[in-house]
Each structure stands twice: as structure tokens, then as C-alpha cells.
Amino acid sequence: MALSNVATMVRGLLLVALVCAAHAAKDAPVAKDGAAAASCDGGTCDITKLGASGNGKTDSTKALETAWASACGGTGKQKILIPKGDYLTGPLNFKGPCKGDVTIQVDGNLLASTDLSQYKSNWIEILRVDNLVITGKGKLDGQGPAVWNKNSCAKKYDCKILPNSLVLDYVNNGEVSGITLLNSKFFHMNVFQCKDMVIKDVTVSAPGDSPNTDGIHMGDSTGVSIINTNIACGDDCISIGPGSTKINITGVTCGPGHGISIGSLGRYKDEKDVTDITVKDCTLKKSSNGLRIKAYEDAKSVLTASKIHYENIKMEDAGNPIIIDMKYCPNKICTASGASKVTVKDVSFKNVTGTSSTPEAVSLLCSDKIPCTGVTMDGVEVEYSGTNNKTMAVCKNAKGSATGCLKELACL
């Protein structure tokens, strides 16, 4: 064969090889930073193999984004592994829907950047993902102490909101278990428009004076269970916002914090009802409130909170152990008109015992325009732990019944 023919054949083979390689590269799933999804072995994406460094100083954001792109794009069971170590990250936006089921295994600690200019909204936000699992013994550290002094919400109604740590939006059949959420800049966890979520064996930890560091907030969600979880924070341990239904809270310890709250209700227009809420076998330790339902006196929405049941609750020097506050008005920002549009009905308190740090162990402060109805207390025995006053109940515009309670508390 002539040398020219050989050269032609070689050039042809090289061209075919190049074309095939180009097609292969084009067809491979590519992560945001250009890494192919094939970089995750056997359905497990170890972020350290994607460039993450566990020294607590190197930015590992891209490695986590690469891992998410691969795991969410893979079929079947997919895992993102965060090994032991400290991994600094900026904002992470993990969007679905995903092709398979993703588990984020948190064995190490994620540290949120303290540079607020990096954030458009939240730190870790997961959107439209079904069958999501976040589990492990590691921490999501919001590093809030570095920026809490930037929070002006105690002074301004329309304050700039700092980043929430973990936000789950439109997540169905999800689980968060085992992890610790530490020192969030704002809320530790926010659950919005989710369905059939289980949050169990989680720890939330922040100082009692840290601003707006709610433990777990939820809104417009149904079928959420919070089980065997310990929460210490600077705001509500759990806040159940408008549109929440079929909520189960069991075995939660709260304190310090502002208690387990429904609301606040009525702040915004077009809020939806809250119904079918059960809180059982919980302990409140030195929290500023205990079991609280709060609605704005000048509520902008017409809505109802109903079918709410509290049972087997222990108070350990909790302030305001039982409180329905239909004149809620933080920072004096409301119009004290008394024209509430929120209805509270069918609320039961059973076997609520222990001690109160305030003389008022029961405060039912309902609206004169729309009284609370169907309120029952059975076995409510909470005593003021101080010596300068006596245990008392304050009941206004509340209708219902009390049986087996301390005589000082039977105000219904």
C-alpha cells in the first residue's frame, strides 16, 4: 500500500476517533463546574473526591454543586457523602426534580460563609425534590455569631432578613434525621409547601439571646412530623405557620427559646387555615413561653386555627406555660383596634404539669370580637415556682371547660 494511502487512512481513523470522543463528551451529564457525573462511583459522590477540602477554610461550594448535579441526575439510589471534616461553603441551591432518590450523608460539618454579600437569600435551599433524605451525625453550622449584629428586625418591621440555614421547598416524602443545626444566621430550618416530612433525632443549638434563630418553622405544609428532637434557640423552638395541617410533634425538648408556637397568624393577606395539630410528650425548659397560639390583633387575613391538641407536656420553669394571645403585636408595630379576623377553636390541653417562671400559668387572651371557643383543660397542674406571687390564670373571651386542674387555673 502506498504511503499516501496509509496516511489518508490514519487521518480518517483519527477523525472518526475525534468525532466519537466529541459525541461521548456531549452526551455525558455535566455538573455546573464542568465535572462529569461519572466522577461519582457506584452512585456515591464523595465531595472530597470532587475537590472539597475539610480544613474549614477552603471554599468547597463547587464540589457540593458538582455532587448534587451528579446525584440528582442519576437514577435509582444516589448518595452525596460529606466525610468527617469541616467544609466551608457559600450558598447552595439544590434544585429538582431528580431522576432518582437522593440521600445527603452528613458525617462531617458544613460551615456557612460569613460573607453576607454572597447570599441572595438562604444558605442551603432544596427545591422540588421527592424522597430526599438528609442524615448523619454531622453539623450544619450557620456561623451566626459573626453576623447577628447585622440583624435589625427588633427595630424595623421591614428589616433585611439574614440567610436561613436549611430551607426545604416543595419537598415530598422527605426525612431529616440525626444532624445538628448550629448557630443559624436566621431560622435554622424552614419547611415550606412540603408534604409527608419526618424530622427526627435532630439537634438545634443556638444561644437564648440569638436573634430570630427559630428552630424549625413550617408553613403551607401537610403531614409534617417532628420526633425526638432537642431545640435550644433564640426564638420559637417550633413555629407552625399559616396553611399547616396534620402536624405531629412528639418527644421534643425546647429551651431556651420562645416555646412551641402556632403562628404568628394574620400578618399577611390570604393566609390559609391551621388545623389538625398534635403536640405530645414534650418538655419545655426555661423557655420564655410554653404552648403558644399567637395572632395579630390587626390581622390582615380571615383564617381559623382549629383541632389543636396538647397532651403530656412537662414544664420546667417555662414562662407563660399555656398562652393564647390574640393581641400579639411585637415591637409595637400593630394597630390596637381589637378587630381580629382570626378564629381559634377546638383547642385541648391534657396533662400539662410542672412549674412556671411567671405567675400566670394560663393566659387565654382572646378577641372580644371573635372569642375562642371549644377550649378544654384536663389535668392542667402547673404552679408558679417563685415566692413573690401566687399561681394564677387570666382568661378573657375564652369559652370552654376545665376539669381536674388546679383550682387557681380553672378559669373557663
The residues annotated with a catalytic role in the active site are 258
CA atoms within 13 A on the CB side of 98: 29
Round to whole Å and give the CA distance between 235 and 215.
Answer: 7
Taking Cα atoms as reference points, which of 258, 316, 245, 249 lies closest to residue 284? 316
For 38, 253, 359, 394, the CA distances from 290, given in Å and listed in that order, are: 51, 11, 13, 15
Nearest Cα to 102, choosing from 126, 135, 125, 80?
Answer: 80
Cell 428589616 locates to 159
Find all residues with CB under 8 Å of 20, minimum gap 6, and list them. none
The gap between the terminal CA atoms of the chain, to the nearest Å, is 107
Q: Determine how many CB atoms are found less than 10 A away from the CB of residue 9.
A: 11
Sign of the alpha-carbon dihedral angle for 13, 14, 15, 17: positive
Q: Do residues 412 and 385 lie in contact, with contact meaning Cβ atoms separated by under 8 Å?
A: no
Grid coordinates 415566692 are at which residue?
387
Q: Are 148 and 184 in contact (CB under 8 A)?
A: no
Confirm if 99 and 129 have CB atoms less than 8 A apart: no
Residue 32, helix vs strand vs coil: coil
CA dist 363 to 76, 280, 411, Å?
52, 20, 10
Give me the DSSP letters along 374-411: EEEEEEEEEEE--SSS--EEEEESEEEEEESS-GGG--
* Max CA distance (Å), the chain: 112
Cβ-based neighbour number of residue 227 at 10 Å:
16
Q: Is 177:202 a contact under the CB 8 Å cutoff?
A: yes
Closest to 135 in 3D by CA, of 90, 79, 183, 212: 79
Chain-centre distance for alpha carbon 269: 22
